[in-house]
Each structure stands twice: as C-alpha cells, then as structure tokens.
Chain A
C-alpha cells in the first residue's frame, strides 16, 4: 500500500474516532451559548474560539464532523444499494429491460444535479426540527445520487452475463435468482464498493453546498455546511484564521477519501 493511502486511512480513522468521542472530547455541548464570550479568539477554554452566538467552535466542529461523516456514508450506502438494484437488474436481464432502464437513467443524469437537489428539497418542508432536516438532506442525496453508479454497475453486470463462468452456471441449470445471488452479486461487490467510496466525498461536498445556501441541516445542529457558512462573516482572509479550521478539516477529509478511493477503485 502506498504511504499516501496509509496516511489517508490513518487520518480518516483518527478524525472518525475523534468525532465519535465528541461527547468526551468536546468542552461544551454544541448548542450551549457562552453569552459573555461571543466571537472570542482561541483560548484554553475554547480551543477554536466561539462563534457570533457564543457557541464553542471546537465542540461544534466535533459534532458537525460526526453528522457529516456518519450520514454521508449512509447516503452513499443508500445510493449504492439503489444503483446495485437498478443497474444490476438491468444488466442481468439485458435486452429491452436494460435499454429501458438505461434510458431512464440517462434522463435522470441529464437533469442538473444541484438544480434537481434544490427542487426536490424545496418540495419538502424547510422549517423542520434539526434531526429531521439532517435525515431529509442525506436521504435526498442518497435517493438522487444513484444514476451514475447504476450505469457503471449495469455495464459490469452486462459483462458478467457474457462471461464463461455465467455460461457454465447456466449450463449446469442455475436458475435466475440463484444465478443473481451466487454468481452476479459476489462479482459485483468490488464495483459496488468502489461506487460507494466515490459517492461519499461527492455527498459530503453536496451537503456543504446545500448547507452554505441555507438548504441543508437546520440550526442549531452543526454540520460542515452550516459551519463553513460562517466564512460569510469574515472581513478578510487573515482576520480570524482560526475560523478556517472547519475548512481545513473538510479539505483533509475529502482529500483522504479521494486517496483511499483510488485503491478501492482498482479491483473494479
């Protein structure tokens, strides 16, 4: 394994462990307001200072990272499962079914992702509780992000359906479901896994975009999107450098996902 990938995995493990232990590591609850200490600079008590509402920035970063790092993979899992179901079935059945499903996928892919995302988000209530908003945002990402992966999985399933081992399995009397379960799915696993890894950073970026536009996770629950939105209040890049901590963590995590991804992509 290349050192860069090892470092990326180590960073992801470290950050995931840190945010999972947020309850122990955070000096204050994410919504607790220190009203005498608004917009404070970093100190022993508040490692990254406080925001304009007096909330501890380090605690919010830990909890926000937890929200994004737990739910982006969950959304990616949902998208990969949908893609596996739709693309895998289309590739397995082939013929007209495949053509019809792929035409539908093309239609879905021709709709611009962010426009579609905010259109469907607008259909759902905006003034909901923070927990519901988190669920809505990531479920939406999962439900709308399957199309690209479905195409890849369909192509993979199609190539398997023409392979020798499937021909042998058919010749030895394997039925449709058995063929799908015993021969297609195990071989599609690397493709599904690669699509899952590709989707995670994409969904993290999409959530950040939605959050900055005010269409993502609702306050006071922190997420990377809502934390990056704070950059709006900066007067210059050098004014309060500690405000860039969420951006740095964000870039490091997304880069790490990209570096890990390359290796995971190889078997596909």
Chain B
C-alpha cells in the first residue's frame, strides 16, 4: 500500500512537472520559429503555410500530449545548440554524472557519519570544535568556488561532491545522534556498563536510522545541483556541464528535459529514503 502510494505520488509529480516543463518550452523565446522562414525565396503564402503546420503546437495541452507521446517512444527532442537528439546526449553523459554523484555521495556519507559518530562517542570538545569549524567553512563556500580551487590545485574533481555532501550529513547526523544519546534507554544502557561501541551500534544508531534515511533524498538533490559547477568548471562531460552549456545557449528544450530527469532521480531517491525509513521504523524496538 505504502509502495503503491509512493509510486502514485512520483507519477503525479512527474506528469505535473512534465506539464510545467512543456509550458516552459512552449513559451520559451524563439519557440515555433523555423529557420526555413528565413529563406528569401519563400513567398508570404508559403511562410503562412509553414506556420500553419506548426499551429497545433501553440496549444500547450496539445503540445504536452504530443511531447508525452514522443517521450514514451524514447524521443526527447533535439538539442538546438548541439544539434543532436537529447536522448543520445543523455545516454552519453548520464553515466559520467552518476559515477561522480555516486562516489561523492558514498564518500560524503562515510566522512560525515563517521565524524559525527566520533564526535558524539568521544564527547571531546576539541574534536567537536574542529569538526564544527571545518564544516562551517565548507558550508560557507559555494560549490563553484570549491571547483575553481580544485582546478587550481589539480585535485581530482570527483572529490568535490563529497565535500558538498559531507557538511550537511555531519551536521544533521551529529544533532540527531546527540539527541538519541540523551534518550533514557541509552543512559540506562551506559549505567549497566555496556561498552561505547555496543551502546552506539545497538542503542543510539537504530532510533536515528529512519531520520538519517530521510536525508538520502536531500543529499542526492544536493549532489546533482553541485554537479553543475563541478562539471562546468572542471570540464567533466556529464549532464551538469550539458545543463550549463544549454543555459548559456538558451536551449530550453534540453534544459527542461535535464531538469525533469534529475527531478525524477531525486524523487526516486526521496521515495527510497521514505521506504527505508519506514522499514527501519518498523524494525525498531
């Protein structure tokens, strides 16, 4: 039931988002202008006939339905600036971004979570202060500045996404674990003489897991957003770079498709996080 609800929600959001995107494309400057109209050999009548051929497209709903029909058939249109099918561009570039986002998320989560566990476990003021300082500085740096610094110092660009994800994960996880560490059953467990590792693994982490799972979707969205400056400035051929090029070339059709696909991935990650949270909650004592 819960799964069906989530699938329904994703479907509705994608359809509505698609309609929003189609409306943006329909009202984008230059929509419906055919370069054939610039041919000076064509008479006014021919130009009118050309425009009449495109007339059905001017209705947003008709345009959206034809857009959906084509999308189901795997045709996402053609990029105006790169003059290539959008589906092919996505097939070429999406794996690159997925690789960056995947490794960035994995490293960011490992760093953030392990540092949060270390700070909560040790309760050492200097570690807390140092971690807060590093996280505070990272939170104040735009992803694009980090990308520029990475280029200057020739640091592998893929590490950047982990530096974007890490501070958010750390801050959230630290607050959550500190709250869980103050729960009465944890105090009782400590009083009974249980070891630190056992208290953390059996009594602090389990109640925190459902809320940590909810952060997965947010971190995916964050990593995809940071992939734009990273790929644009570090010259990585992913969809972030594609989005940047499309924005500079005002290729709205390509941009809308990219936004929709990233929104779909984010939604799926959010839904997976919700489901995982539900499972953890059900399994909690």
Residues of A within 8 A of B (CB): 106-107, 110-116, 118-123, 125-126, 201, 205, 208-209, 212-215, 228, 231-232, 234-237, 247, 250-251, 254-255, 258
The answer to whether B1 has its CB under 8 Å from any CB of chain A is no
Q: Which residue of A lies closest to B9 (CB)?
A: A106
B 197-232 binary contact with A (CB < 8 Å = 1; else 0): 000000000000000000000000100111011001
The answer to whether B243 has its CB under 8 Å from any CB of chain A is yes
- Which residues does chain A contribute within 8 Å of B270, judged by CB atoms? 110
Contact B266 A118 (CB under 8 A): no
Q: Which of A112, A213, A228, A250 has the most CB of B within 10 A?
A: A112
Nearest CB on A from B34, distance (A): 20
Q: How far is the CA of A232 from the CA of B148 in the complex (A)?
A: 6
Known contacts A111-B263, A122-B255, A205-B142; is-contact A231 B225 (Cβ 8 Å): no
Contact B152 A237 (CB under 8 A): yes
Known contacts A209-B142, A258-B140; is-contact A228 B148 (Cβ 8 Å): yes
Contact B259 A112 (CB under 8 A): yes
Within the complex, which residue of A228, A234, A235, A258 is in contact with B144, where a contact is CB–CB below 8 Å? A228
Contact B13 A114 (CB under 8 A): no
Q: How far is the CA of A116 from the CA of B270 in the complex (A)?
A: 18
The answer to whether B247 has its CB under 8 Å from any CB of chain A is yes
- Which residues does chain A contribute within 8 Å of B258, judged by CB atoms? 115
The 4 tightest CB contacts between A and B, nearest first, are A212-B144, A114-B225, A254-B140, A118-B247
Residues of B within 8 A of A (CB): 13, 16-17, 20, 24, 27-29, 136-137, 139-145, 148-149, 151-153, 221, 224-226, 228-229, 232-233, 243-244, 246-248, 250-252, 255-256, 258-259, 262-263, 266-267, 270
Contact B144 A213 (CB under 8 A): yes
Known contacts A112-B259, A212-B229; is-contact A119 B143 (Cβ 8 Å): no
Contact A112 B224 (CB under 8 A): yes
- Which residues does chain A contribute within 8 Å of B142, judged by CB atoms? 205, 208-209, 212, 228
Known contacts A119-B256, A122-B250; is-contact A212 B145 (Cβ 8 Å): yes
- Which residues does chain B contribute within 8 Å of A123, judged by CB atoms? 24, 27-29, 250, 252
23 A–B contacts, CB within 8 A, in A order = A107-B16, A110-B263, A110-B266, A111-B259, A112-B263, A114-B228, A115-B262, A119-B24, A119-B252, A123-B24, A126-B248, A126-B250, A205-B140, A208-B142, A213-B144, A213-B244, A215-B248, A228-B142, A236-B153, A237-B149, A251-B140, A255-B140, A258-B136
Nearest CB on A from B16, distance (A): 6
Q: How far is the CA of A122 from the CA of B24 in the complex (A)?
A: 11
Nearest CB on A from B149, distance (A): 7
- Which residues does chain B contribute within 8 Å of A213, judged by CB atoms? 144, 228-229, 232-233, 244, 247
Q: Which residue of A lies closest to B148 (CB)?
A: A231
Q: How far is the CA of A126 from the CA of B251 in the complex (A)?
A: 12
Q: How far is the CA of A120 from the CA of B247 in the complex (A)?
A: 9
